[in-house]
Amino acid sequence: MSHVDTFRPGAGELPARDAIPARYRWDLSSICASWDEWNRLYQQLDASINAFTSFQGTLAAGAATLLAAFRAMDDMGALSYRVWYYAALQYDEDQRNNQANARRQQVQILFARQQQASSWFNPELLAIPLERVREWMAADQGLALYRFAVESLFHEQEHVLDESGERLLSYSGRFNSVPQESYSALTTADMRFPTISLASGERVTLTYGQYRALLETNRQQGDRAAAYRSFHQTYADNQNTYAALYNGVLQRDWFHARARGYASTLDAALHGNKIPTSVVENLIAVTRQGVEPLRRYHRLRRRVLALDTYRLFDVFVPLVAHDAKYPYDEVGTWIVDSVAPLGSTYQRRVREAFEGRWIDVFENAGKKSGAYSAPVYGTHPYMLLNYNETLDAVFTLSHEMGHSMHTWLSHEAQPFVYAGYTIFVAEVPSTLSEALFLDLMLERVETSRERAVLLQHAIDSIASTFYTQVMFADFELQAHRLVEQDEPVTADRLNAIYAGLLREYYGNVIDEEEISRLTWARIPHFFSTPYYVYQYATCFASTAKLMQDLRSQDSATRGDGVERYLSLLRAGGSDYPMDLLSRAGVDLSQPDTVRAVASELDMLVGRLESELASA
Ligand SMILES: [Zn+2]
């Protein structure tokens, strides 16, 4: 079977975009037929933004005007997806395209105006007594649709201050981001990356990318050690500055929590999504009890790599050398096959994504790096990849497909106001999609060697997406508690917390390395988005729990699990994430849910051990 228009990425120069056959490039005509149509939509959005101000001052008049304002806001929102993505996706195809870039910026300017033009809406709605809005919603079916939106807005309101309090807090907006911006300047603009000599005599400058690649591929432990130590030394050299900046983050968070009347910084971070603090505390406590499979994996690695000392710079090298290529044209059918457990309708949709040109597959000159799924309301989602035929690239495709199906099912089932979903559930479908794909691949590949490669991939992703993120959440919580308890925050204190965590999670399985205690200084999330990373871990636990039913031998359990899972996807953002998950059978406040990850890891490490024995 030969395709005239087949294509595979090669080494060397990047192809120009038009050298890649059309079927590997996304077809954006379902968003807009042309720039002419885009112009018309842009004008329409512009006009509806201007028109929206006419609702100001009318909300309290009654159910009818409130409903009309809600609907006008939805129409504006739906339109803005198409106007934004038509320009943004074309810009990402080739970021040297100045015309697309200019139009994309034009939309950003319009969005800023849209925000100003609707900023009166929430305060005006919140000024109406909630009881009255509830009566309106009970009497008016159209308005009843907005019940969750209204209730959650009033819920957030619980910690909003009076006008003078809010004005005072708003003045702090200008310096809230100073610690984070200073961190970013120090680690990018002002960063001096070290250069080291490898055993081969080659000199390497350790940019982030080079450093990471070296730990993942270099088989000389001495090279890895040199890279790790020099890289971390650059942070050690400025550790007191990093500690002072992080103290700025902690003090800011505590200032805002206290100003708004929260008991702790964690309470403040979780209130919006109505997540009980016990979820994070439970996550950390249960994970600490479930570190044995993680240690088992590292003991296995130390043995297989035949290393006398085994340190944090040894945890990324592959156990089995493997350079198989996965041509895109073959992988598509595997991805479609892998979702069979989710039913034929779901499967047909995944096929449609491949055949309907939703995916921009290969790298070309000027294209944005990385991968994403773009939730374009009003049509189907689009996916950007830089597919390079590695195993990582295949799993990335499966991951983005999970996001896209979530978007599609949610957009189809929900009204605009609930079509989007929060990060707290977003990584469930993507990781579940990867888990299904792993199951299929383990069945299909023929040698123990290949199975070992797959198992290591899955295990590493549990180690990095679950255990490491929980450890990070653990660190953030302990650090925030220092300021909450009026304790000083110094580099020594932060180093001591981190060193303690490394012992807690790895025991004596990974040999201690003095400089590892500084790791906190190189994690940008700590400085930019406090209390964020735990959500990767809760998503991962939810997936592990859901997969237990999906893998069940009992067909009724399986069928029920699939139905609950698909309902979760269709529910979009129509309720609080904890409620959505609990209807899908996942209770994150229960230790069992978190334990599902440790059991899965244990099962995978056991399999890896036996595959390696026969490889
Ligand atoms: Zn994702």
Residue 2 is predicted with a pLDDT of 41
Token digits for 115?
């925000």
Mind listing the pLDDT tens digit for each residue in 51-94?
999 999 999 999 999 999 999 999 999 999 999 999 999 999 99
Across the range 485-504, mean pLDDT stands at 98
Distance 430 CA to ligand 1 centre (A): 6
Distance 172 CA to ligand 1 centre (A): 32
In the block, which residue shows the tokens 């830089």? 386
Dihedral over alpha carbons 13, 14, 19, 22 (to 10 degrees): 150
Distance 291 CA to ligand 1 centre (A): 25
Assign 4 a pLDDT band (cuts: 50, 70, 90). low
Mind listing the pLDDT tens digit for each residue in 140-186?
999 999 999 999 999 988 898 888 888 888 888 888 989 999 999 99
Distance 229 CA to ligand 1 centre (A): 31
Distance 76 CA to ligand 1 centre (A): 27
Distance 421 CA to ligand 1 centre (A): 13
Residue 48 is predicted with a pLDDT of 96
**In this model, does residue 599 exceed pLDDT 60?**
yes
Residue 5 is predicted with a pLDDT of 73
Distance 426 CA to ligand 1 centre (A): 7
**Cβ–Cβ < 8 Å for 471, 280:** no
Which of 298, 336, 339 has its CA nearest to residue 317? 298
Across the range 339-367, mean pLDDT stands at 96
Residue 160 is predicted with a pLDDT of 87
b/e code 571-582 from CB counts within 10 Å (16+ = b) = bbbbbbbbebbe
Residue 501 is predicted with a pLDDT of 98
Distance 313 CA to ligand 1 centre (A): 26
In the block, which residue shows the tokens 């990471």? 212
How much is the mean pLDDT over the chain?
94
Token digits for 374?
């773009």
Distance 88 CA to ligand 1 centre (A): 19
Distance 491 CA to ligand 1 centre (A): 33
Across the range 547-551, mean pLDDT stands at 95
Sign of the torsion formed by the C-alpha atoms of 576, 581, 584 and 587: negative
Distance 400 CA to ligand 1 centre (A): 6
Across the range 238-258, mean pLDDT stands at 97
Distance 240 CA to ligand 1 centre (A): 34
Distance 132 CA to ligand 1 centre (A): 40
In the block, which residue shows the tokens 């949709």? 349
Measure CA of the first residue to CA of the last residue in the chain; give whole Å: 33
Residue 166 is predicted with a pLDDT of 85
Collapse the DSSP code of 506 into the 3-class scheme (helix H, G, I; strand E, B; otherwise coil) and give the result: helix
Distance 316 CA to ligand 1 centre (A): 21
Which residues pair with residue 360 across a beta bridge?
384
Distance 228 CA to ligand 1 centre (A): 28
In the block, which residue shows the tokens 């034009």? 106
Distance 373 CA to ligand 1 centre (A): 8
Burial of 111 from C-beta contacts in 10 A (0-12 / 13-18 / 19+): middle
Distance 423 CA to ligand 1 centre (A): 9
**In this model, does residue 30 exceed pLDDT 80?**
yes
Mind listing the pLDDT tens digit for each residue in 452-486?
999 999 999 999 989 999 999 999 999 999 999 99
Residue 324 is predicted with a pLDDT of 85
Distance 143 CA to ligand 1 centre (A): 33
Residue 470, C-beta contacts closer than 8 angstroms, at least 6 positions apart: 283, 284, 287, 534, 537
Distance 272 CA to ligand 1 centre (A): 22
Distance 8 CA to ligand 1 centre (A): 25
Distance 403 CA to ligand 1 centre (A): 7
Assign 11 a pLDDT band (cuts: 50, 70, 90). confident
Across the range 380-392, mean pLDDT stands at 95
The CA-based diameter of the chain, rounded to the nearest angstrom, is 79
Across the range 233-247, mean pLDDT stands at 97
Cα separation, 144 vs 298, whole angstroms:
54
Dihedral over alpha carbons 437, 442, 447, 450 (to 10 degrees): 50
Residue 475, C-beta contacts closer than 8 angstroms, at least 6 positions apart: 497, 498, 501, 520, 526
Cα separation, 514 vs 239, whole angstroms:
14
Mind listing the pLDDT tens digit for each residue in 90-145?
999 999 999 999 999 999 999 989 988 888 999 999 999 999 999 999 999 999 99
Which residues pair with residue 205 across a beta bridge?
195
Residue 1 is predicted with a pLDDT of 40
**In this model, does residue 565 exceed pLDDT 70?**
yes
Distance 372 CA to ligand 1 centre (A): 8
Distance 399 CA to ligand 1 centre (A): 6
